[in-house]
Structures are given as C-alpha cells and as structure tokens.
Structure 1
Amino acid sequence: MTGRHTTAALRAQNRRLVFEALQHGGEVSQAEIARSTSLAPATVSNIVKELVAGGVVDTVAGAGRRGAVVRVARSAGIVAGVDFGHAHVRVCLADLGGTILGSELAPLDNDHDYRDGLKLAQSMLERLVEQLDTAVPLRSVGVGLPAPISADGIINSGSILPGWIGVDAQLAVSELFGVPARVDNDANLGALAEYAEGAGRGVRSMAYLKISSGIGAGLVLDGKIFRGGIGTAGELGHLTMDEDGPLCRCGSRGCLEAYAGGTSLTQQFSSFESGLTVREFVSRAVEGDLGARRLIEDAGRHLGRAAAALAQILGPELIVVGGDMAEAGELLLAGVRDGLRRHALEPIALRTEVARATLGDRSPAVGAVRAALEAVTI
C-alpha cells in the first residue's frame, strides 16, 4: 500500500471514529470527541469542519459548556433496520444518530420467497418514510435473518429459511434498495442491540438467546460480535440434547429447538387448544394455564442445560433471553437459572447472570439499525 493510500485510509478511519462518537454521544463538544476517540484536537476540528461542509454534522450553541457543540444533522439521512422472523417482518426507521423514528410490523409466512419478503419490507419502509415531515435520503439498510449465514454471505440452510436458500442476501438487499447493506443472523443483531442499548450495557462478554419459533444465539466476546471462522457461530437451537429425541425441522433428532422452541411447544399444546401463535401460547401460560406453564418451565430447564455448556466454554458475564418466549418472564428464566445451576460448575453458575432482554422483541430490528449505521458511507 502506498503512502497516499495509507494516509487516505487513516483519514477515513478517523472520520468514522468521529462520526461514531457523535452517534453515541448525541450533542458533544469537540474536546469530548477528542477524549473519547484519542484523536488530536486539531484532527477532530478538521474532520468536524469537513462533516459540517458535507451536511453530515450540525453545530449548535453549547448548553452550559464553553463554545459550540456538534451533533449528527437531522437532514443527513436515514437508515432502515429489517428483522425477518419465522412468521413476521419488522421494519424500523432511524436517523443517523440512531434515534428510532418509526416502526412497522407485518405477518409473513416462513416459506416465503426472498423476493416477496424484501418487497414487503420495501413497501413498509416507504410508508414509514412518507410519515416523515421532511424528505431525507436513505443511506443504508441492515437486515436480520433467522438462519445461519456463511462467511461468504450465502444462506445455505433451506430447512430453516427455504425461500432464501443459495441467496447472496446482502447483494439482494443492496440491489433492491439501492444503498449499502449489511445482513446478519437475527440473534447476532439482537446481541448487538442488547449489548449496546439494553440489558448488556456495561459488560464485556455476553450471550443473547433468541427464543421464538426457533432458537438462536448471538455472542459478544470482548466487546465484539463473534461469528466464528465460517460465520455460523451461535446455532444453539440445533445442539443435540438427545440423539433419540423428537425429530427437528433441521432433519436431526433431539435438538434443543425440538424441546424448547416456540413452534414445538405450541404443537405440543395443540391437543388442548389448536391454532395458537407462540405469543398467544405464552399468554395462556402467563394467564395461568397449567399445561402451558409446565411446557414453558420444562423448556427453561432445557435452555439452562444448553446455557450451562455455553457458559463453561465461553464464560460470558451475562446471558440475555429475548424473543417471543421471553414474554413469559420469570416462568422461563427461573428454569434457565435452575438448569444453569444443575449443569455448570458452581463458580460459573454463580457468576453468570441471566436476564430478560430489555428491548423485548425489538432487539433484532434495533440491532439491524445499528448494522445499517455501520454501513453508512461518510
């Protein structure tokens, strides 16, 4: 790499550091940016001038601080976060400071064709944009999918998301929306959101378990999402609990998902009341239905056994439980803690906290927004 290219890369990296400091800090002074980024004040000053000239940053009068403070300009653009679940799609719209401006949720069949899913998300996004007071450009899109995504970006598990098999999802999203895109597993994005804005604030390592129709895990190790060498880390739902157990949709037997996934539990409950969604099934349990409560309690213990293995191998400080099943609250979490206590070494079980996701079922969509912000070119 030539000296010119090295200088250009360093300057681009510094611009990104300043931009991210503004995203995380709201209205901040240039001195505060310099401290948080470890950049020289003169470097920060020059970058801020460039960003102001480019319409990315506004300067505002300092409130109780000497001089002006700066913030991401509201007219600089917007980003979209899209979360595809097994039975829904959620779209969130945010400004470049990360503030959510609007959100919309719609049902979606699990076996949908990827083109139909993306077109639905596009129409939802268009409605959200129409509700804004001013016209601002879309800068990037982040998308979460409930499927393993290989390191080359291809979805290769048709049993989990059949309409997306073989698709280069990032390319498909970028071509449809005409902006840079980031695509990731939905549990990874849920972990990203909870780590940055939710239950995981202040920890260095955590696991996010998304328990909805299926089960997935997102891992944050030393402050960064861990995807593994082949890009598919976190497929906890297909950990074999009993090789002679019930058949799983992935084709194996005795997967954790077959014991604790929402679809499996609602199917078991169907002899009492058929046609329920996972959310409706959880509501029955919360309302006191004994059969539903027992199924969720048992699911919690199965999850706790899997969480114990995860805790002993990776040592997270915190395990965050999210997704539709997390709406059961302590009915589910108590089982997870009990399973962790039974199957992990005592020092590990005692030091591994279990908490409910504070962003609720919005975690993957909020994480998709954060992924989109990372894709913004400044």
Structure 2
Amino acid sequence: MASRGTPSGSQTSLREANAARVLHAVQQHGGITQVELAETTGLSPATVSSIVKQLLVEGSVETRTTIRSGRRATLVTLTRRTGLVVGLHLAVRSLRVLIADVGYEVVAERVLPLPHDHRADTTLDRAALLTVDLLEEVGAGIDEVIGVGVAISAPVDPGSGVVASRGLMRGWEDVAVADVLAARLARPVVADNDANLAALGESRFGGARGATDLIFVRASFGVGVGIVSGGVLLRGPGGLAGEIGHVLVDPQGSICPCGSRGCLHTVVGSDAVLDSLRVSHGPLTLRDVLSLAQQGDPGCRQVLEDAGAAIGAVVANAAVVLNPSLIVVGGEVGSAGDSVVTGVRDALARRVLLNTDGPVSVIRSELGPRAEALGAMAHVLDREGAVTV
C-alpha cells in the first residue's frame, strides 16, 4: 500500500532546503545559538537541532556550550578549516586587528594606539606586521587567510579603493589602501569607510540584525554615517555618501579641513570639543573628556550634550530624507554615554516624520569598538557580489 503524506523526494528536498537555510544563517550571523537559529530561520527547535547534528556529522559546523541570558546554550559556528578572515580598523588614533574564521568566530584581537596624524606608509606596515604576528600566535599561516577587510576613517572610492578626499586622515589622500596592504600580505584586500562597514557589521551581528533600512551614526574624532537602504550599503560616486560631518550647520563658523566653512565637523569634531574646554580644564584628550563626563564633570558633560544635539539635528534631517526604520549610534563618543543617542532622539521627537508606522528607533551599537572590523570581515566574504544585509 502506498504511504500517505509528503513523497519521500519532497521530504529530502525540504530537508536540504532547511539545512541550507541554517547554514546561511550561521554564515550571516557568525556564532549563533540553536535557539537563535530557530528564531532566525523560522524552523522549529527540534528541526534545527536535527539539522545541526547532521551538519556536525558532515563537518560543516562546530558546536560548543556558551551562556546566553544566564542560561547554557549550544553555540553553532562554521568549521575553522574553511579559512580565516582578517578585519582591520584604521582609525584616527588607533589600529584594531581581528582574526576570525568564516563563521566570524574571533580567534585573535589586538589594539594598537597610533600617534596624531600617523603616516600612511608606517601605519600600513604596522598593520601588516601585526596581522602576521597574530596569525603566528594562533598557529596559522598567511596562506590560510581568505582575505583582509579594512575599515578606514575616511571616504574610500569604491571603484579604485583610493582614499577619496581630505578629511580627518590627513596625509592619506590618494592612498590605495587595499593595494598597498595586498602587496605587503600577498592576500586579497578590500577597503571601505569605517561608518559604512560599522553599519554592515551592526546589521549582521549587532542590534540591527534584520533591518534593511538603517543609519549608523559614527561619532568619534569626527562624525559620519553609514547608510543601508533596501539591504544595500549606499556609497555614492567616489564613496562620499554619508559624510554628514561636512553638512553646513554654521554659515559664519570656522573653516573645516575640507575647505568649507561651518561644517558639522567644526562644531562636534574632537578639536572643537577640546578647544571649548581648554580655558576651564586645560589640555585634554578626547579620552579624558569621555572619562570625565562619565565621572560627572559638568563641563565635559555639557560639551558632549551640545555635540549630541548638533549631530541629532543633522541626523533627524537625514531621517526625513532616507526614512530608516532604525538609527544605530556608535564610535567612541556615541558609545561612551547617552549624549548622542539622546540628541538624536530629541531631534527626531521635534520633527514630524512622514513615516506613519511609528517613531524611528534609536539604539546604541551592540558591537561597540568591534563594529568596524567585524563589518570589514563581512565585506571580505561579500566581495564577490553586492553588499547586502
């Protein structure tokens, strides 16, 4: 007698499709628990558990015990044998290097402080040497690296990989960062602006998972945004999309490094913040200001609140134009306190947005200082096609 129900061929196809969904979710999100896999894929916990066991036997994934919300959980990652990926963040005053497998499980990390106006050739040499050192520490060779992603605090032309214009990274103009590092490491290298890659990182691994329309506000020594629209990063010709630090906010203001007068950068950049405190506090670093503000220093708190309000006003206008469902705030200043988050929320509250679905959510970055480097890793594994969330 013929059995009733779904034909066995259809059942096999369904199992294969479900296994592919689980594998895709693991690759997209890196380390993810079985409970999170069920939520992400829409499959039942029992189905996910069965598929994970199957993938373990095949050697496609690895599992280990972790803690989520105070409870033991099974973390699923892709097997390391598939290769390693390197994420670099070349910022104004620091270099961060992450090494992970293709499941985005970080196996090594190092942060190196950099001097003011650090030179491109010296810094790229340091980045290459530090990458090789970290690989040796985990017992890996450069030949295991699939590729290197670089996040840099400057606009990057998406076609040429060249730093596109003057800005915070003085002396880096016209430097082909990806080409220089590729020559030093003999591996494929991709480069992009750090706010763009932080947006990508946050949408893959952080609080913006699943959001296809978002703005990532990176408030640090300067300010810029990464824009994801319809699941695609918006770069613009020359990679200049999202440079809100050069939006006019004070027609009678100071001259910006870009050459214009009264840009947002001249009001909220680190030089402006430190200059406003020089009389009352003497010489400080940005890190000093953030630390003192957290300790309750009224002057430092005030300048950060003023900066947050100025950034919020510009981001609120951008929200009217771009209609995001989510705004994520990160960077050293954005992650250090509530000044920027509050500034953006207050500015949005004063605007009548055209979106009638409800207020735009504003959250702080879940990934913190790793957002840019993790996004750079995702950019490596996405380089064969369009960068999508």
State the TM-score bracket (shorter-chain normalisation): 0.7 to 0.9
Q: Letter of the aligned partner of 1:296 in structure 2?
A: L
Give the share of equivalent positions with the same residue, in percent.
Answer: 34
- Which residue of structure 2 lines up, in the alignment, with residue 93 of structure 1? 99
- Which residue of structure 1 lines up, in the alignment, with residue 170 of structure 2? 162
Q: Does 2:89 match 1:83? A: yes
Give the alignment partner of residue 107 of structure 1, picking from 113, 118, 124. 113
Whether the 8 Å CA contact 1:102–1:128 is kept in 2: the answer is yes
- Which residue of structure 1 lines up, in the alignment, with residue 155 of structure 2? 148
Whether the 8 Å CA contact 1:180–1:376 is kept in 2: the answer is no
- Which residue of structure 2 lines up, in the alignment, with residue 338 of structure 1? 346
Stretch moving more, 173-182 or 144-153: 144-153
TM-score (norm 1): 0.79
Q: State the distance in 2 between where 1:255 and 1:93 align.
A: 36
Q: Does 2:198 match 1:197? A: no
Equivalent residue runs for 1:1-378 within 5 Å: 23-24=27-28, 58-59=59-60, 72-133=78-139, 135=141, 137-152=144-159, 153-345=161-353, 351-375=359-383
In the alignment of these two chains, the number of paired residues is 334
Q: Letter of the aligned partner of 1:332 in structure 2?
A: V
Q: Letter of the aligned partner of 2:342 in structure 1?
A: A
Q: State the distance in 2 between where 1:170 and 1:262 align.
A: 27
Whether the 8 Å CA contact 1:321–1:355 is kept in 2: the answer is yes
Whether the 8 Å CA contact 2:61–2:78 is kept in 1: the answer is no
Residues 1:174 and 1:344: Cα distance change in structure 2 (over 3 Å) = farther
Which consecutive residues of structure 1, in runs of 5 or more, have no partner in the other structure? 1-15, 37-51, 64-69
Stretch moving more, 221-230 or 156-165: 156-165
Stretch moving more, 360-369 or 109-118: 109-118
Whether the 8 Å CA contact 1:300–1:339 is kept in 2: the answer is no
Whether the 8 Å CA contact 1:140–1:375 is kept in 2: the answer is no
Q: State the distance in 2 between where 1:252 and 1:349 align.
A: 37
Residues 1:346 and 1:261: Cα distance change in structure 2 (over 3 Å) = farther
Q: Deviations over 1:355-377 (max 9, x none)?
A: 11111122111111212233489
Which consecutive residues of structure 2, in runs of 5 or more, have no partner in the other structure? 1-19, 42-55, 65-75
Whether the 8 Å CA contact 1:282–1:292 is kept in 2: the answer is yes
Q: Deviations over 1:135-166 (max 9, x none)?
A: 57122100011111224322232343233211
Residues 1:163 and 1:58: Cα distance change in structure 2 (over 3 Å) = farther
Where 1:276 maps in the other structure, the secondary structure is coil
Whether the 8 Å CA contact 1:262–1:325 is kept in 2: the answer is no
Q: CA RMSD in A?
A: 3.2
